[in-house]
Amino acid sequence: MGEQSANSEQRLSRAAAHRLSLYLRCVASWPADGGKVSSGRIAAAVGVSDAQVRRDLAALGHLGQRGIGYEAKELATAIRAALGINRTWRAVLIGVGNLARALLRYQGFRTQGFEIVGLFDTDPGKVGQVVEHLTVESSAKLGERAVELGAELGVLTVPGEVAQGVADVLATAGVRGILNFAPIVLRLPPTVRLVTVDLAIQLEQLAFLVQHGDNAKATDD
């Protein structure tokens, strides 16, 4: 965790970005007392050190005042800008199963600036269905429709064996980032960023932590 960039938010590591996400969640959920929040309160809620919070937030620019704390609204705005969620991201979702339905109903997506603008599935029985106000389209049209819809991100909730093919179509269509729930390691061109949410791996991490108890380094990033 040695990243203390002076003023360059571009240098944020993913670990730091992850902590900023957690800070934002706290700040956004608290009723701000007179509009101020302290680094100590954020640190206690997230489970990192006060110094770590102050270092992370210092990297965003001149925000807080010693002994006074941070202006909650200003802090939230600065974190959103650093993370790149001070705008709306248009995303397509491929594979309309239970996980997709759970994601579509998840309030967090829209409030954090992510808008699902298209749903795709290979199953003819699902194509044409309306799910959460969107009509499921055929995956055969994914490439051209992703371009038409101006999709920047893709969410993959397809089985592992078809995920690479879908990812290739998205990459060709100009999608810049993929959130992958399929349990495989995707190969993508360097222009396309990838975040994988592998549920079995998460459970394995939990088993690892439980098994090794206090000997495991339990940092959550």
- Interacting positions 187-206 with its own copies (CB under 8 A): 190, 193-206
- Closer CB to its own copies, 10 or 65, in the complex: 10
* Site map (CB under 8 A) of its own copies, residues 142-161, x = contact: ----------xx--------
Q: Which stretch binds its own copies (CB under 8 A): 31-39, 60-68, 162-170, 179-187?
A: 179-187
Site string for its own copies, 4-23 (x = CB under 8 A): -----xxxxxx--xx--xx-
Using rule CB under 8 A, residue 70 touches its own copies:
no
28 in contact with its own copies (CB under 8 A):
no
SS3 196: strand
Q: Give the rounded distance of the alpha carbon of 159 from its chain centre.
A: 21
Question: Min. distance of Cβ 21 from its own copies in angstroms?
Answer: 4
98 binds its own copies (CB under 8 A): yes
Least distance from C-beta 130 to its own copies, angstroms? 16
How many chain residues touch its own copies (CB under 8 A)?
72
Question: In this complex, which beta carbon is closest to its own copies, that of residue 147 or of residue 199?
Answer: 199
Rounded to whole angstroms, the Cα distance separating 133 from 13 reads 37
Q: How far apart are CA 101 and CA 81, in angstroms?
A: 29
CB nearer its own copies, residue 127 or residue 156: 156
Q: Please, which residues have CB within 8 angstroms of residue 173's CB and are 6 or more apart in sequence?
A: 142, 143, 144, 146, 147, 151
Long-range (24+ apart) CB contacts under 8 A made by 144-149 are 144/173, 145/92, 145/118, 145/120, 146/92, 146/118, 146/170, 146/173, 146/174, 146/175, 147/173, 147/174, 149/90, 149/92, 149/117, 149/118
As a residue count, the chain comes to 221
Interstrand relation of 177-180 and 193-196 (parallel, antiparallel or unpaired) = parallel
Least CB distance to its own copies at residue 65 (A): 25
- 140 lies in the binding site for its own copies (CB under 8 A): no
Question: Is residue 45 within the footprint of its own copies (CB under 8 A)?
Answer: yes
Tell me how far apart the alpha carbons of residues 87 and 110 are, in angstroms, rounded to a whole number.
Answer: 11
**138 or 196: whose CB is closer to its own copies?**
196
CB of 154 to its own copies, least distance (A): 10
